[in-house]
Amino acid sequence: MNVKQQQVYRSGFVAIIGAPNVGKSTLLNKLLGQKLSITSKKPQTTRDRILGIANQPEAQFIFLDTPGIHQAHKPLNQRIVEVALSTLGDVDLILMLVDASKPDPVSENLLLKAVKNQNNPVVLALNKTDLIPKPALLTQIEKWHRSHDFKAIVPVSALTGDQLENLCDAMATSLPDGPPLFPDSMLTDMPERFITAEMIREKAFRLTGQEIPYSVAVTVDTFKEQKKGKLVSIQATIHVEQDSQKGIIIGKKGSKLKQIGKAARKEIERMVGTKVYLKLFVRVQKNWTKDTKALRRFGY
């Protein structure tokens, strides 16, 4: 076994929260760098919640939009905290950003209140450190240490890029172990259907204890928005090569398929930002990997 395979890889969904003008967009752009993967064509729709994906050698961060929190034209008020509360619960990690050069106790306390209501790990980044002297920064770090059990407190400058590596390390450490949720090869122009198929495939693979080959294919047969965008209804098929694999995926009285569906649905809901109705089918298609026609149909 080579050394690389033994290293822990981590991946997960990250929400960046902070008051207007603290530097969220600047930071996100820096973190995504050249690897800006998914550009949101319809930023106002709930279906484009993935802002971008940043790949590090040992971690993948999928940044999710948190509706309300980033809207600079609205004051940070109680309503926004409510929205934050309802969406933050789903992410693997919260990255809270404050402007160290211009502390704002009112909005900072609201954010603290929001994150204290969650169980998710929170990394705090103190931004714009290029604007303040070191002693002032140390005082702030001490204050923040007392205010919440942050996974890490990292002073950064999103503008100059200072300390961003430390920030990425701190974030990676706080994410769950797991393979990249989005393989490198599909990081450009991913249709949601394809991402959905990938999420189902990954869950099927993980939840069967890898008893099925990684080459199992998933097709998304329907992907419909319903109830005025409040629900997405999806039908998908898991294609396997052998009857025995079908049995493994379905499980006793359908229990395994139910488990796969539930896990995939939760992840798809995080991506699309609405409730999802997911119906899964399992189909045996012998030798599909060798059949180029089938391959094309699966989009490979």
Q: Which residues bind Mg ion (CB under 5 A)?
A: 24-25
DSSP assignment of 211-279 equals -S-TT-EEEEEEEEEETTTTEEEEEEEEEESSHHHHHHHH-GGGHHHHHHHHHHHHHHHHHHSSEEEEE
CA–CA dist 102, 158 (Å, integer): 15
208 binds, among Mg ion, ligand GDP, none (CB under 5 to 8 A by kind): none
235 binds, among ligand GDP, Mg ion, none (CB under 5 to 8 A by kind): none
Q: Within 10 A of 143 (CB to CB), how many other CB atoms are there?
A: 12
Is the Cβ of residue 107 or residue 196 nearer to ligand GDP in the bound state?
A: 107
Residue type, 172: A
HSE-CB at 104 with a 13 A cutoff on CA atoms is: 17
Which position has the token pair 């009857």? 243
| Closest distance to ligand GDP from the beta carbon of 288 (Å) | 46
179 binds, among ligand GDP, Mg ion, none (CB under 5 to 8 A by kind): none
264 binds, among Mg ion, ligand GDP, none (CB under 5 to 8 A by kind): none
Is the Cβ of residue 70 or residue 265 nearer to ligand GDP in the bound state?
A: 70
CA–CA dist 118, 94 (Å, integer): 10
Is the Cβ of residue 18 or residue 273 nearer to Mg ion in the bound state?
A: 18
| Closest distance to ligand GDP from the beta carbon of 23 (Å) | 3
127 binds, among Mg ion, ligand GDP, none (CB under 5 to 8 A by kind): ligand GDP
| Closest distance to ligand GDP from the beta carbon of 280 (Å) | 39
Residues 214 and 263: beta-carbon distance below 8 Å? no
| Closest distance to ligand GDP from the beta carbon of 27 (Å) | 7
Backbone dihedral region of 70: left (phi > 0), alpha (psi from -120 to 50 degrees) or beta?
Answer: alpha
131 binds, among Mg ion, ligand GDP, none (CB under 5 to 8 A by kind): ligand GDP
270 binds, among ligand GDP, Mg ion, none (CB under 5 to 8 A by kind): none
| Closest distance to ligand GDP from the beta carbon of 160 (Å) | 6
Residue number of the CB closest to Mg ion reads 25
| Closest distance to Mg ion from the beta carbon of 24 (Å) | 5
HSE-CB at 118 with a 13 A cutoff on CA atoms is: 26
Is the Cβ of residue 162 or residue 269 nearer to ligand GDP in the bound state?
A: 162
Is the Cβ of residue 71 or residue 255 nearer to Mg ion in the bound state?
A: 71
Look up residue 98 and give its two tokens.
């404050």
| Closest distance to ligand GDP from the beta carbon of 165 (Å) | 15
Residues 104 and 136: beta-carbon distance below 8 Å? no
Which position has the token pair 């933050």? 88
As a whole number of angstroms, the longest Cα–Cα distance in the chain is: 68
List contacts with ligand GDP (CB under 6 A). 18, 20-26, 72, 127-128, 130-131, 157-159
Residue number of the CB closest to ligand GDP reads 23
